[in-house]
Amino acid sequence: MWDYSDKVMDHFLNPRNVGEIENPDAVGLVGNITCGDALKLMLRIDRDETILDAKFKTFGCGSAIASSSALTELIIGKKLSDAVRITNREIAEYLDGLPEEKMHCSVMGMEALEAAIANYRGERQADEKTDAGEIVCKCFGVTDTRIERVVRENKLSSIEDVTHYVKAGGGCKKCHEQIQAIIDRVTAELATEGEAEQESRPMTNLERMQKVIQVIEREIRPSLQADGGDIKLVDIDGKRVIVALRGTCAGCGAAQLTLKNFVEVKLRDAVEPDITVEAA
């Protein structure tokens, strides 16, 4: 028995906005009845691109019905530009969570919304066998691009996760090697992108302070203490680090050299290249 939230049960037993819209402005149809899930989403949209009404018909489990119902509640009254940014995670969160094994239902809702908006804007829908990539999971007709997307957007890390989100790999399992290769590639790309983003954006004052404290405590103090000296952080003013030398370092004639040639060099290497160190 799945561990469903009260909200999932409510939207399953009392689904909102079920039915048809006569002459809808947009239709999104996703899934495949032969694979167990299908969703048809219909929208009424005004000239200002506000979603006035949304109705759905779905073939699937209780989670599919609840996710479709939640989706309509989330999008009615929204501009298309806002609605298109709704993710499967937001659908699941609106329902106070879904079992991991049922997350594919929230993905289906997100994809139906994207298909409906594309339909409204006259954009050509990609054919999964051609434009949308190569089919990896033949049991459920899931392409490599679809697998890559859910792995990237949901930070998935295992074949089992992928199966929960798009069913791929849940049949004969012959595609497991390909799925794992996609997971490994996307995970490596995300790590590289994260490092690049970290390097490109300016460091905040809090981040700078935390790094300075860390370097002083882990690298600088132990080295000075080994020779009977010590150092105390007095203040951090932007990129100016103000310290006080203690112990043998305080009365040493080479104190200024210690500050500039050791403390400042260490902080510039580990924190930021234009940090300056001054004596209190």
Helix (H, G, I), strand (E, B) or coil at 157: coil
Residue 211 CB: number of other CB atoms within 10 A? 16
Residue 14 vs residues 8, 10, 17, 108, 217: alpha-carbon distances, Å = 10, 6, 10, 20, 59
Q: Assign residue 264 a region (left: φ > 0; alpha: ψ between -120 and 50; beta: otherwise).
A: alpha
Structure tokens at 259: 């500050």
**CB neighbour class for 92 (10 Å; exposed up to 12, middle 13-18, buried from 19):** buried
Single-letter amino acid, residue 120: Y
Q: Assign residue 228 a region (left: φ > 0; alpha: ψ between -120 and 50; beta: otherwise).
A: left
What are residue 252's phi and psi, to 5 degrees? -80, 140
Catalytic residue among 35, 61, 139, 252: 35
Helix (H, G, I), strand (E, B) or coil at 32: strand
Does an H or E element contain 142, and which?
Answer: strand 142-143
- Give first-to-last CA distance, the chain, whole Å: 66
Does an H or E element contain 81, and which?
Answer: helix 80-83
* 41 touches 17 (CB < 8 A): no
Catalytic residue among 61, 105, 137, 249: 105
35 is catalytic: yes
- Residues annotated as catalytic are 35, 105
